[in-house]
Structure 1
Amino acid sequence: MAALLNGIWVVLGVALLLLMSLEVLLTSYYERADKEEIVSAAKAAANADVYANADLAEGYFKEFKDAAHWPLPWASYTQSRAPDYTGKFINVNEGIRRTWNSGTINDDRSARLRIFFFGGSTLWGYGSRDDFTIPSLVAKKLAEKGTGAKVTNYAVGADVTTQSLIRFVLELRKRNAPDLVVFYGGRMDAFSACYEGKPGVPIGSSNLERISSDKEAKARVTIKLENFALTRLLTGKRKFVGCLEKLDALSDGALEVYLGNVRFVKAISESLSFKTLFYLEPQLSDKTHRTKYEEDHLLKSEKRLPGRNDIYSLMRSKLVKEYESSGQNVIHDLHDMFSDVASPIYIDGSHYGEDGNELISRKITADILALYAPAK
């Protein structure tokens, strides 16, 4: 009996040692594989048909890979901030992307319009150089029209409008008020509702809930099965359920959250005497004449999270219908911005290149000039 027990312990010990060795090897393998996936994604984006200069695109995305640091650094209230970075194409200081600003128009800097932009990664300028983001191009076009403006890009990747609103409130708390604030987005509100399975929360909220205050101590010492590399080997890559079965309810919830934020900003604007512009961004499925590259990425994005495009389209149509019936012209819907464009616009399922930024910046610039046009 003693010999049998001793043999069992030896077998168990050897098995445990093999499992530990396999866990270490798999952990190392998956770390390398995840890094390679990021690199390959950057290379794929650099080969998007929106870029005429392949060398410039490759250089940009190599820099973006170093600058991204995903997941983003933690920030109080907003959950995240853009990491600081200094490069040739990308520069971020104290979480704010560098924006083109002219010193040649209106020598009296106090006479310049102070314009704040808030939004997610498309406004931040994923795939675009500092001087060719939407805020930078708006600043350039205003200068060309003789209107001096100090433009600040407060956008952060993956921001929903509630996060953008909080960032704005934090600036107002510092008595840093603009003449005009532009909120650009809407899509992330719908995407977050689809991804998280409930509206009104930022991306990644489900992960934070797992270590909420009443569970934090337990989470520190609990060994979670899903964190093991062996589990990943056995279960494969995580697959997202999507939201096709709950499109109507989730789009209603996302709409109510978005409109609540719009109403809040409008109320503040009346008190502090600044102007507002809200834009619902376009998405790839809105583009009628898609290139083969764009068509492939549209299929990939929908396969990865079924319903992600439909929920935004539904939310947007409900929102536009509600505002048209009220006779208000507060929110600008850009769904048809690229609908008839045959040339390449999109880098992936969500982001467009500098040509797309150019078209959008023309529209926003025209709206700003109309907003400040002398009364006839």
Structure 2
Amino acid sequence: MKKWAKTTYTVLRNVIILIVLLEILLGIFYSYYDKSGIDSNTQRIIDSGVYGDLDPEIPKEIYRELRVQYMQWDAYTGYRLKEMKAKHHSINNKGIRSTLNLNLKDSTSAIKIFCFGGSTMFGGGARDHYSIPSELSKLIYKSYPELNIEITNFGCHGYTRAMENVQFLKEIAKNNIPDIVIFYDGVNEIISAHQNNEAGLPTNAFNRKKEFNLGYDYKNRIRLFLKSSNVFRLTKTLRAKLSTGKFYPKLDPRSDELAKDVASSYTSYVKISKALDSSYDFITFNFLQPVIYSKSQLTEAEKILAKQQDYYENLYDLSYDFIRKDSLMSKDSTFVDISNTFDNESNTIYVDFCHTGEYGNYVVAQKMMKYLKPVLNKKNEELE
């Protein structure tokens, strides 16, 4: 072997060894860094007072469990929650989170209430018995203790209304027909549109596009592998810091036209689910959820959060406004705008721009209960 070739081989070998060692060391560093990030963010949340007098260790446990909450492939929706049995999160092998269900006496004859939504319906940041469905269970039991009711929490992180419709159709195809259906949406429709710069797509659809045909496209496989490495993460972070002065630069705002598309997409999926009401004899409620930008009295902690993520604000404001003005939505009794739910709350409600603490879930459940009562009154009269 010629001297230059041997030297080149030695240099390449040493570079590869150094990169592998750097990857391993960065992996160890980021493992601890990400964990400390969860803990420091949780401490910020605790200090904001959003969890009131709750033992500070409980929110820390909640967010640590959320960090190790995994997804698995699911037909048509793309993914669902993986089974989990932890102190504050119980998810069965179908990806359904445990709900309190105080009224449940017999599942076969129970009045079924299906709850669909993203992480806010799932209850991100709350214990099993303090999610919106569980809080609804408490309120229903208080007013209608004799009714036999089963509430199912189908909420899943990142789900949009389009994905929820597919999720719902899968249940109908299995002849699992509810009596009442609750959709709680708005947040992920905007996040998805912002991510993809296109309305109506699943959240993180751009990542799934990159992963398509990986088994046959080796160049793309290598590219994705490199971009998933810790070394790439380091270089990307340093580049952002050097160019903007921040490790996590703000996202770019989106056009006003995208808001019209978001509203059109959302209302179309509402129409699709509404068409099933009479065919399967169930009652649907479409709740437009609150976000931090729609709360009239922000605390100092919430003002900081709103400012940090103000790149979403314009898209939310415009999209919600277009949805409200839609001719179908304005006349449809099943559509309920509850984005003003926290207008009378002077305490800190939000832990970020859309998720609330456990008290926030209770307030939302109270708001929903006002619209469920006429239906439940009728069910109660039939029982008598």
Q: Indicate whether the TM-score tops 0.5.
A: yes
8 Å contact from structure 1 (residues 42, 62) kept in 2: no
Secondary structure of the 1:127 match is coil
Deviation digits for residues 14-66 of structure 1 (CA, Å, limit 9, x no counterpart): 444434433433343334323433343344334441112352x4224324423
Secondary structure of the 1:183 match is strand
Which segment is superposed worse, 277-286 or 42-51? 42-51
Deviation digits for residues 161-181 of structure 1 (CA, Å, limit 9, x no counterpart): 111111111111111101110
**1:235 equivalent in structure 2:** 236
- Asked if 1:203 corresponds to 2:203, the answer is yes
Which segment is superposed worse, 335-344 or 26-35? 26-35
Q: What letter is aligned with 1:131?
A: H
Q: Structure 1 residues 325, 152: closer, same or farther in 2, change over 3 A?
A: closer
Secondary structure of the 2:51 match is coil
- Structure 1's unaligned 5+ residue stretches are none
- 1:178 & 1:129 partners in 2: Cα distance? 25
Residue 87 of structure 1 deviates from its aligned partner by 3.3
Q: What letter is aligned with 1:176?
A: N
Residue 8 of structure 1 deviates from its aligned partner by 5.3
- 2:120 & 2:166 partners in 1: Cα distance? 19
**TM-score w.r.t. length of structure 2:** 0.85
- Structure 2's unaligned 5+ residue stretches are 241-247
User: Pairwise mapping of residues 95-244 of structure 1 onto structure 2 (< 5 A)?
Assistant: 95-103=95-103, 112-146=110-144, 148=147, 149-213=149-213, 215-219=214-218, 222-224=221-223, 225-236=226-237, 242-244=251-253
8 Å contact from structure 2 (residues 187, 354) kept in 1: no
Q: CA RMSD in A?
A: 2.9
8 Å contact from structure 1 (residues 124, 153) kept in 2: yes
- 2:189 & 2:351 partners in 1: Cα distance? 21
Residue 280 of structure 1 deviates from its aligned partner by 0.5
Deviation digits for residues 58-108 of structure 1 (CA, Å, limit 9, x no counterpart): 22432442355355222221122223222333222131111122258xx67
Which segment is superposed worse, 267-276 or 69-78? 69-78
Alignment match of 1:267 (pick from 270, 275, 280) = 275
- 1:112 & 1:4 partners in 2: Cα distance? 79
Q: Structure 1 residues 85, 230: closer, same or farther in 2, change over 3 A?
A: closer
- 1:84 & 1:296 partners in 2: Cα distance? 35
State percent identity of aligned pairs: 26
- 1:368 & 1:291 partners in 2: Cα distance? 31
Which segment is superposed worse, 201-210 or 71-80? 71-80
**TM-score w.r.t. length of structure 1:** 0.87
8 Å contact from structure 1 (residues 63, 87) kept in 2: no
- Asked if 1:85 corresponds to 2:89, the answer is no
Which segment is superposed worse, 227-236 or 195-204? 227-236
**1:286 equivalent in structure 2:** 294
Deviation digits for residues 159-213 of structure 1 (CA, Å, limit 9, x no counterpart): 1111111111111111110111000112111111002221111112111111223
Secondary structure of the 1:298 match is helix
Secondary structure of the 1:210 match is helix
- 1:43 & 1:234 partners in 2: Cα distance? 28
Q: Structure 1 residues 371, 240: closer, same or farther in 2, change over 3 A?
A: farther
Secondary structure of the 1:181 match is strand
- 2:219 & 2:39 partners in 1: Cα distance? 31
Q: What letter is aligned with 1:87?
A: A
- Asked if 1:310 corresponds to 2:311, the answer is no
- 2:221 & 2:108 partners in 1: Cα distance? 57
Q: Structure 1 residues 363, 228: closer, same or farther in 2, change over 3 A?
A: closer
Secondary structure of the 2:222 match is coil
Question: Aligned residues, how many?
Answer: 367
Which segment is superposed worse, 345-354 or 165-174? 345-354
Q: Structure 1 residues 14, 49: closer, same or farther in 2, change over 3 A?
A: same
Q: What letter is aligned with 1:311?
A: L
**1:276 equivalent in structure 2:** 284
**1:255 equivalent in structure 2:** 263
- 1:85 & 1:194 partners in 2: Cα distance? 30
- 1:100 & 1:39 partners in 2: Cα distance? 28
8 Å contact from structure 1 (residues 120, 185) kept in 2: yes
**2:351 equivalent in structure 1:** 347
Q: Structure 1 residues 344, 18: closer, same or farther in 2, change over 3 A?
A: closer
Deviation digits for residues 304-329 of structure 1 (CA, Å, limit 9, x no counterpart): xx2x2221221111111114785333
- 1:352 & 1:22 partners in 2: Cα distance? 39
Q: What letter is aligned with 1:229?
A: N
Which segment is superposed worse, 184-193 or 237-246? 237-246
- 1:255 & 1:211 partners in 2: Cα distance? 29
8 Å contact from structure 1 (residues 323, 329) kept in 2: no
8 Å contact from structure 1 (residues 124, 157) kept in 2: yes
Q: Structure 1 residues 281, 20: closer, same or farther in 2, change over 3 A?
A: same
Q: What letter is aligned with 1:160?
A: T
